[in-house]
Amino acid sequence: MAIAPTLQKYLAAENIQYEVIPHELSMTSARTAQACHISGDRLAKGIVLRRDGGYMLAVLPASHHLCLSDLRTSLGDNVHMADETEINRLFRDCAHGAVPAVGKCYGLDIIVDDSIEAQPDVYMEAGDHETLLHMGHAQFARLTANAPHGRFSAHD
């Protein structure tokens, strides 16, 4: 599958520079980081959340887990994890579970964990389970420029 068409068009339109990194099939972000010999701290994963009748994307390192209670402190109590059916509907051109850490091209607002924002470079799923995108900090910062930031994850 390679890069999801929606994501590829968006990155081109925004003139985001990135490198494509193929890897062996992996079904979790932690395994993807291992397969690519990169730190899970630098692999951004997107977690789809349901909030106030809509959806948003939380972006955090693959080496972390989401602390929903911390997120609710900043976003309000009506924040829940989206289910698989909802995720598949939102990310129609992506493989099941291969959510890119970019929300805007899918109509989603994002919130970014401070720990991924601090990385010198960032990797993310490209929409399948065999392709990563790699970009420098400045490119990732452009993708997340208007997003709120905070601490809502903890290292595994």
3-class DSSP state for residue 75? Answer: helix
Give the pLDDT confidence of 2-34 residue by residue, as tens digits: 899 999 999 999 999 999 999 988 888 888 888
Q: What is the pLDDT of residue 31?
A: 86
Q: How many domains does the chain have?
A: 1
* Burial 119-156, CB ≥16 within 10 A → b, else e: beebbbbbbbbbbbbbbeeebbeebbeebeebebbeee
Q: What is the pLDDT of residue 28?
A: 84
* The token pair that represents 132 in the structure block: 């990563």
Residue 64 is part of which domain span?
5-155
Residue 68 pairs in a beta bridge with none
Span 135-149, average pLDDT: 94
Q: What is the pLDDT of residue 2?
A: 83
- CA 89-62-137 angle, 5° bins: 100
Give the pLDDT confidence of 86-97 residue by residue, as tens digits: 999 999 999 998
Pairing of strands 64-66, 54-61: unpaired
User: Is the model's pLDDT at 1 over the cut of 70?
Assistant: no
Give the pLDDT confidence of 105-141 residue by residue, as tens digits: 999 999 999 999 889 999 999 999 999 999 999 999 9
CATH, residue 125: 3.90.960.10
Give the pLDDT confidence of 29-84 residue by residue, as tens digits: 888 888 889 999 999 999 999 998 899 999 999 999 999 999 999 899 999 999 99
Q: What is the pLDDT of residue 51?
A: 93
Q: What is the pLDDT of residue 97?
A: 87
